[in-house]
Amino acid sequence: LLQPIASADMDLNQLEAFLTAQTKKQGGITSDQAAVIAKFWKNHRIKIHESLINQSRWDNVLKDMNWRVDLKSQSRHVDQINTPVAIVEMELGKNGQVSFLL
């Protein structure tokens, strides 16, 4: 029962309606079981949702980013002084693997 609940990322109203329908179904769950499932979902919804997102990623993810803008204070040519230069540092990685910098 948790798979459709997690896939739909049900809020509390949707969860209540879903579990009520499951208790009324032939061979469904009892109201006590519905209460336990509802309590479990309320306590672990965010963790389950994050886990599903992490499992569905295929490529690298951005783990951290730093940036700054520098101004040239010295140059051979006067027109290049005070020219802004952006420096961006991005840390990419996959879950559970060593990340690398770009």
pLDDT digits (tens, 9 = 90+) for 26-83: 988 999 999 999 999 999 999 998 888 777 776 777 888 999 998 877 778 777 788 8
48 occurs within a structural domain = yes
pLDDT class of 96 with cuts at 50, 70, 90: low
pLDDT score recorded for residue 14: 94
Residues 65 and 49 in one domain: no
User: What is the pTM for the complete model shown?
Assistant: 0.53
> What is the rounded distance in angstroms from the CA atom of residue 90 to the CA atom of residue 65?
4
98 occurs within a structural domain = no
E strand or H helix at 67, and its extent? strand 61-71
pLDDT score recorded for residue 24: 92
Residues 15 and 51 in one domain: yes
> Which domain covers residue 20, as residue numbers?
1-56
pLDDT score recorded for residue 18: 94
Residues 41 and 75 in one domain: no
pLDDT class of 90 with cuts at 50, 70, 90: confident
Q: Which two tokens stand for residue 85?
A: 């230069």
For residue 31, the tally of other CB atoms under 10 A from its CB is 10
> What is the rounded distance in angstroms from the CA atom of residue 21 to the CA atom of residue 56?
29
Tally the domains of the chain.
Answer: 2
